[in-house]
Amino acid sequence: MKEHNGSMRDDNAALYLLEGKTPDAIALRTLTGDRTYGELTRAAAQVAAHLVETEPRGSRVLLIAENSLFWAAAYLGMLRAGMVCVPLPPTISAEDLAYIFRLTDARLAFVQARVLAGRGAEFAGVRVISELPSAAGESGFAPAAANDLAALMFTSGSTGRPRGVMVSHGNIRANTESIVEYLGLRSDDRMMTVLPFHYCFGTSLLHTHLRAGASLVLDSRFLYPETILQHMADAGCTGFAGVPSHFQILLRHSSLKTREFPRLRHVQQAGGHLAPAFVRELREALPHARVFIMYGQTEATARLSYLPPELLDSKQGSIGKGMPGVTLKAVNAAGEEVAPGEAGEIVAEGANVALGYWGAPEESAKCFRDGKLYTGDIATVDEEGFLYILDRGKDFLKCGGVRVSCRQLEQRLLEGEGLVEAAVVGISDEILGEAVKAVVVGDNGSHCGGQCDWALCSAARERVLRYCKERMAPQVVPREIVFMPELPKNSAGKVDKTRLKDL
C-alpha cells in the first residue's frame, strides 16, 4: 500500500482516486458519449468549489441519480470539498427518503432531473441541484484526515429502517488499494458497469477503476440482457461484475454461453451466494476469463475476501481468505477462533472497516468492537483457513427445534434441474413452529415443456416437491412452493426477502 507522507491533503479520497491521470483518457463510457478524466476532474472540482462557497464543511448532502457523469462528478466533488455524501437509489420510497432527511439533517440534495420529475414535493424545504454547477474557479478543496467521514452508505437495518454506514476517506483508500492489487486492474481495463453506484459494490467499481486509470462502461439496461452482452462485445469490455441474480439471468436467459468475448479477462461476483452449479456454468461459458468469487459488507466499505480463480474447484463454495490488509476469523461466543469444521461468526479487522452507524450508538456497539467488525455471518473454516459461509446471520429458520440455513436450502433447490432462482422464507406451522416456503423462478418452463404458465403448473410443483423429498430432511421439505416470473429485488439486484414475506 502506498505510503502516506503525513499531509492531510493526501488523505482526501477524491484526490487519491483522480491524481496522476491522463486528461484525454476515457473515464466513463456512457450511452450519450465518452467522458475523459480531464472532464470528470474539472466537473468534480467545480462541484467542490460551489460547495465550499455555500455549505459548512461536514454537511450531509444527498445524491440521487443514475450512473452518469452527474453522479460521479457530484460524488467526487462532495468528497473533495469535505462534505459527507449520502448516495440513495432513484427508486427510494418517499417514507425512507423523509426518514433519511431527518436522520442526516441534510439540507442539500443533488438529484438528477429525470429522477426529480414528479417527486418535487418530497424535497420541500431542501435546496436541490439537478445540473452540475459551473463555478468560476476550480479551487474548492478541503484537506481530509483518514478518519474524516466521506460518505453514509445506507443499508437495511435490523429494525426495518435503513441505517447509514459511516465510511471514511481512509476506508475508501484502504479498500481500493486492496481490490486493485488482487484483481490486477490496469489502465487499459474496461469494466461493464450494470451495478448502481449508490450500492457499495457499484461504488467500489468506480473507486477501483478510477484509481487504476481504467474506463467504466455504464449501462443500466440489464432488463435486456442481450443488449448488455452486445454492448460488452462492442465496447471490448475486459471486466464484468454482478450479484448472483445477474449471473443466473445471463446463464439461463441469454446467449452468454454461445457468445465470445475475446477481451474479457476477469469477472467479479459478490453481493450474495452464487450456487456452485452456476459457478461451474459460468466458468464453462467464459473459459478465458478469471472468475473471482468475493465476499463483503457495506460495513467494510465493500470487499472483505476473495477466492483466487485457480482454487474454484478445490475450494468449491468458499469465500476464500481476507484480501490484502484484511484479517478474517470465525469465532465462537467466547471470542475464540473455531476449529476446522466448527461454526462461528465472521469477524473482520482492517483499515477498510467503517466507523459505525450514523445516529445508532447501540447498533454500532454491537457490530463494531475494538476496531473489528462483527459481521453476523456464520461460517466454518477448513484446515487451510479458507472460509465457508453457512448462512447470513439472521437468515435461519427453526423447524421442529432444528436451526435451518436458508442459504443451504436455496443452494440445494438450485442443484435440481429447471430452476433459475430460489429464495426460502419461513411460514408459521402449528407443529414445527416454522416451516419452509420456497419461492422459485423456472427455467423457461422446462418442467412442463414450456407449454403452460409456471404460476399455474401443478406438474412443475410436484416435480420440484419430489426432488426435495429425495434430497432433503423431512422437516425442511418445503410446505409451500410458489412459482413467480421473477423474484422481487432491490435496486442493487439482490433478492428482497422482506417483500417476499409480505406477499
Q: Per residue in 450-485, pLDDT tens?
A: 444 545 567 788 889 999 998 887 888 998 898 888
Alpha-carbon gap, residue 394 to 409, rounded angstroms: 15
- For the record, the C-alpha cell of 405 comes out as 440455513
Contact 248, 421 (CB under 8 A): yes
**Which amino acid, 476?**
V
Residue owning grid cell 492531510: 8
> Domains plus CATH for the chain?
12-220+318-387 (3.40.50.12780), 396-502 (3.30.300.30)
Alpha-carbon gap, residue 250 to 228, rounded angstroms: 10
Alpha-carbon gap, residue 480 to 106, rounded angstroms: 45
DSSP, collapsed to helix, strand or coil, labels residue 503 as coil
Contact 195, 492 (CB under 8 A): yes
Alpha helices in 128-224 (DSSP H): 169-183, 200-212
| pLDDT computed for residue 7 by the predictor | 44
DSSP, collapsed to helix, strand or coil, labels residue 350 as strand
Alpha-carbon gap, residue 177 to 61, rounded angstroms: 26
| pLDDT computed for residue 127 by the predictor | 97
- For the record, the C-alpha cell of 314 comes out as 478445490
DSSP, collapsed to helix, strand or coil, labels residue 405 as strand
| pLDDT computed for residue 139 by the predictor | 66
Alpha-carbon gap, residue 404 to 5, rounded angstroms: 51
| pLDDT computed for residue 393 by the predictor | 63
Alpha helices in 388-457 (DSSP H): 406-415
User: What are the residues facing 191 on neighbouring strands?
Assistant: 216, 239
Alpha-carbon gap, residue 371 to 373, rounded angstroms: 7
Radius of gyration of the chain (CA): 23
Bridging pattern class, strands 290-296 and 84-88 = unpaired
Strand ranges, E, within 402-444 = 402-405, 419-429, 433-442
Say what angle helices 276-285 and 406-415 make with each other, to 10 degrees.
Answer: 50
DSSP, collapsed to helix, strand or coil, labels residue 315 as coil
**Torsion over CA of 310, 312, 314 and 316, rounded to 10 degrees?**
170
- For the record, the C-alpha cell of 48 comes out as 467542490
Count of residues for the chain? 503
Buried b / exposed e over 106-139, threshold 16 CB at 10 Å, is bebbbbbeebbeeeeebbeeeeebbebbebeeee
Q: Of 276, 289, 230, 275, give the one whose Cα is nearest residue 256.
A: 230
Which portions of the chain are predicted below pLDDT 50?
Answer: 1-9, 158, 445-452, 454
